[in-house]
Each structure stands twice: as C-alpha cells, then as structure tokens.
Amino acid sequence: MEQQVDTILDKVMDIPGNIGCVLANSQGLCLGVKGNASEQSAGIIVAISDLASKLNPTSSAPVISLESNDKICLIHKHGITGAIYKQKGA
C-alpha cells in the first residue's frame, strides 16, 4: 500500500501549481505527505472534513476550500482524506 500512496502523491505533485499534499486515514493517521505540507496536519484535515460533512449529512462528501493570502488548501474525503495545497494564482 505504501507504494500506491507514493504513486498517488507523486501524481498530485506533478500537477502545476500544487505545492503539497497529505493523505490520512479515517482516524487522522498520516498515510503520506509530499511537498510543502506537514504530517501533523493529518488529524486536523480529517476533523475538518468530518465536521463539514455534518452540515448536510444526506449529500456526498464536500470539497472544502481554505484560503490564505498566497495559498489554497482543498480537502476531500473518498475512503481516505486528502488535502492538496496550491499556490494562489497558479
């Protein structure tokens, strides 16, 4: 499974504008991280995804977008939870 995770992370990082990514399991354990991202954020990313899904429990898992001055963080859960960090304007 570790090789599959690395392959996914590499594919995400190959996309122009992506500067980091994190994958986490449902308990918030970091499965993998690449680029400008922190494995310590895995639990927070899962918690944000879980809380956002409670806003409308009958719909599919939401895509959460968090923005700062220069970055965007996209969070989505599909079995495992992933976060992609993008450079704004890229």
Model confidence pLDDT, tens digit, residues 18-46: 999 999 999 999 999 999 999 999 999 99
Provide the whole-model pTM.
0.92
* DSSP class of 55: T
Residue 58, SS3 per DSSP:
coil
Closest CA to 64 of 80, 49, 42: 49
Give the CA count within 13 Å in the CB-facing half-sphere of 88: 9
Confidence of residue 89 (pLDDT cuts 50, 70, 90): confident
Sign of the torsion formed by the C-alpha atoms of 17, 42, 81 and 45:
negative
Amino acid at 19: I
Domains (range + CATH), the chain? 2-87 (3.30.450.30)
Model confidence pLDDT, tens digit, residues 59-77: 899 999 999 999 999 999 9
